[in-house]
Structure 1
C-alpha cells in the first residue's frame, strides 16, 4: 500500500512525463528546483536552464513507468526509483531505463532537484 507522500511523488513524476507538461516552460519551471541537475541516459549533464530550453521544443516520447519505490531520506527530501520504457517519435525502438529522482520539499510543494536515467536491458 502506498503512503500519501509516495502517491503524491508518483503523480508528480508521471505528470512530468506528459507531453503537455513537457512543452510548458511554466509547468516545468514550477516542478523543477532551481538547483536541478540531471544525468541523462546519453551521459549528458543538464541543469534547469537547459531543460527549460530543450524540453518544450522536443516532440515528447511515449513513456511507460512502473515499479515505483520511495525512499524518504529526510523529512524534506525523498528519492523515487522506477523503471521506464520510452519510444521516441519516428522511432520504432523501445528504450529501457532505471530511473532515480530526488524530490525536495519547498514550502508546501515538492520539486525535482535531481534525476538520472540509466539505460538497461529490456524488462
Structure 2
C-alpha cells in the first residue's frame, strides 16, 4: 500500500464567492439599547448575501416577499415615527409620574407635624 494522502485543494476567492451566492449567507442581528430601564432603540436587521435567484427562493419560503403585510401597510418612515412617538411618550410618562410623586411627598412633608 504505497498510497499517499492528497493534500486538500485550496479554494480560490471565485470558488468561495460562487458558493456564497449559490447557497446564500444570512446575518441576523438584534440590538436593543435601554437607558434607565426604558427602551431607547431597537434594531432587528437581517443582512442577506446571495444571488437574486437564491434570495427570491429564500424570501418565498419564509414569506418575506409581502412587505406591506408584515408592516401592516405602513411605510418604514411611519413605523420609525410610531416607534419614536411611543418611546417619547413612555419617557414623558415616567418623568411626569416621578415629578408628581416628588410633589406629593413634599406636600406631605410640609403638612406633617415634625
Return the TM-score normalized by structure 2. Answer: 0.18
**Structure number with higher strand proportion:** 1
Q: Relative CO higher for 1 or 2, CA cutoff 8 Å, sep ≥ 6?
A: 1
Return the TM-score normalized by structure 1. Answer: 0.17
**Structure number with higher helix proportion:** 2
